A and B are shown apart, each in its own frame.
Chain A
């Protein structure tokens, strides 16, 4: 039992924290948002760091890192709202490698010379709607029946306007070929996305609190720093507590998904729901305590607020995720009244 990061994980975190501090200022996030939600230069730099393929085996061109290591990178990328589809790419590449048979594609993905993504919802009439990184991904892995399909087509680079200016686009997957018919593979890919995205949410939420705490230590009203007001202190204390809980649950989910624990799917869904809620609460409090400036385009907290709202919705209505968990927990729902005739 080790709830904290290992020395190796800390080294990975420190390296990537420094990297994103230097390479990904909030001006880059804004600039990407005005274009298609993606920064090619940052992606190339991330690729030079080895991140896109880090969680693939060395034999496939990766660095043999664990899903935990990937999550550690996702946490700092999330804290910086990095406009690169690191999680979707890594999870899709792992799914393709797991299924086997596309070594050349996996090698390109490991190097980051092509970009992959994971459609989180099954396509309807051959169209995968609002695919994460759909505007920029060359390879789309999508759920199909009980398995996964693979589509290799050029993206058109145009995103659909959306809340956080993410590179969302519809993708035509009618020409998809079957990658695997194994339901376990489909669930593993989605659970990896859930768990690692939950960790990214923790990074986002904690940075939102840092921004707000820094502001509360310099903003004066009524002749005192607003950080001295207990109303504000307690709002941030609640947010920090939720995020610490989210961090511990999300790390546990990543560990469970990586090591194939029987409750991996349950923990992954729980972690995503709780971490997204905690991050949304943190960004809500931080924006509120920024006052009018929080609503202005100029301050960064609004970027965090919009991203916190968006990431989880790519999977769908959170109520559907709760319903999925409830079905596994309590059995399927009986929709019709059982004794209706007796009333």
Chain B
């Protein structure tokens, strides 16, 4: 066991901190209130530094930063409340393409994703298939050298600003469900695509996307025909490994400490002097250190070339479930004042805790629900019987 950081990673952390201090503004953070979790200026500045390609393996044409440096980048961005969703999804899409797409796509699309000029989004989930993702029914039918796609996707978040969707389709309905799937990269300006907003209980918007006789040449196919499940595994590996989500809580805890120090209760005391409040804050800080251990562990495994699976599930399960708990507890701590949204003029720190409270449920759902991750831990890590 050795938890020291290599000097290069320490230096990179300082570089990221300095970058965020210079480029990340409160306006950028607040800009996500319109529902689009993306800051184009920040994204471009990061692309300029080659940081978007950083997490992509060098042998695939990426920046080849160590997995530990990628975690450091994620960690510092989340601690600073930088909008990372569109960026993280784009990086994952690029990594999938580099592993599975043909050379034309690799040479024309991937450079644009990694230099910040194009964005990607995910198209896995459908109205009738969420956790059971292999049950996708959006159809792709071959027609000469072309494919014709018909169907609908849910939760294609960022589709309204993205250039491409990585789309999971059914190409063979007559075999076991995970053996008849094929992936395509679909330019979102292709005729026949309709994007409708899906408002959520939080500030972010998502989308439903509809595909009506969308015609694509075969060059947009990603991976083998009926080989979509292998691509899906790559996608989930990168999503749970690279895409962050390990550090959602620190900004909420920071806000709670600020409230606890400054708020005056009716008896004249500050909450920070209440032993029960201090216990809650300390326990939350312990959870953050646990998340840190998980994040560094996944990075260590990736650096060693170990394909991690269940570790990613544990990381996401613990980070999202503890984040939900922290949001609830610190929302409680503020009492009625906690109810004020960012639109209320005197909301504490721009309504940060309230906004996180409403956002937090989705983190235990997207990218694999807590229940799916518990199934994986039980089956893969503990060897309990698979029941599905």
Contact = CB atoms under 8 A, between A and B. Distances in A.
B283 interface: yes
Contact of A343 (B268, B279, B294): B268
A334 interface: yes
A213 to B, nearest CB: 5
B305 to A, nearest CB: 13
A338 B268 contact: yes
B382 A240 contact: yes
Interface residues of A, number: 57
B318 A9 contact: no
Interface string B347-388: 000000000000000000000000101110111011111010
Contact of B1 (A3, A217, A273): A3
B259 interface: no
A240 B310 CA distance: 11
Given A213-B384, A240-B381, A322 B293 contact: no
Given A254-B1, A339-B268, A241 B278 contact: no
A325 B288 CA distance: 14
Contact of A270 (B257, B268, B286, B311): B286
Interface centre among A238, A323, A335, A342, by most chain B C-beta atoms within 10 angstroms, is A238
Nearest to B306: A4
A249 B272 CA distance: 26
B273 to A, nearest CB: 5
Interface string B250-266: 00000001000100101
B314 A244 contact: yes
A342 B264 CA distance: 12
A329 B284 CA distance: 12
Given A237-B378, A319-B275, A248 B257 contact: no
B5 interface: yes
Q: Taking chain B's interface residues, is the majority helix, strand, or loop, or is none over half, making it mixed?
A: helix
A68 B3 CA distance: 12
A263 B50 CA distance: 33
B132 interface: no
B317 interface: yes
Interface stretch (B137-145, B157-165, B296-304): B296-304
Interface centre among B5, B282, B383, by most chain A C-beta atoms within 10 angstroms, is B282
Contact of A322 (B2, B279, B311, B385): B279
A248 B290 contact: yes
Contacts of A6: 1-2
B219 to A, nearest CB: 41
B289 interface: yes
Contact of A1 (B275, B294, B296, B371): B296
A236 interface: yes
Interface centre among A234, A254, A267, by most chain B C-beta atoms within 10 angstroms, is A234
B384 A236 contact: yes
Contacts of B268: 337-343
Contacts of B281: 326, 329-330
A217 B384 contact: yes
Contacts of B371: 234
Interface string A300-343: 00000000000000000001001101100110011101111111
A212 B89 CA distance: 39
Interface string A245-275: 1101101101110010000000100100110
Interface stretch (A103-111, A174-182, A222-230): A222-230
Interface centre among B269, B293, B318, B377, by most chain A C-beta atoms within 10 angstroms, is B293
Contacts of B283: 322
B266 A343 contact: yes
B384 A3 contact: no
B14 interface: no
Given A1-B296, A1-B299, A329 B273 contact: no
B3 A236 contact: no
Contacts of B387: 228, 230, 233
Nearest to B371: A234
A2 B9 CA distance: 14
B68 interface: yes
B4 A237 contact: no
B9 to A, nearest CB: 8
B318 A5 contact: no
Given A233-B378, A237-B377, A330-B272, A252 B293 contact: yes
Question: Would you list the 8 A-B pairs with minimal beta carbon distance, nearest first?
Answer: A248-B293, A339-B268, A233-B378, A337-B268, A237-B374, A237-B377, A326-B278, A245-B290
Interface of A: 1-6, 9, 68, 209, 213, 216-217, 225, 227-228, 230, 232-234, 236-238, 240-242, 244-246, 248-249, 251-252, 254-256, 259, 267, 270, 273-274, 319, 322-323, 325-326, 329-330, 333-335, 337-343
8 contacts: A228-B385, A237-B375, A245-B291, A249-B286, A251-B3, A326-B275, A338-B269, A339-B264
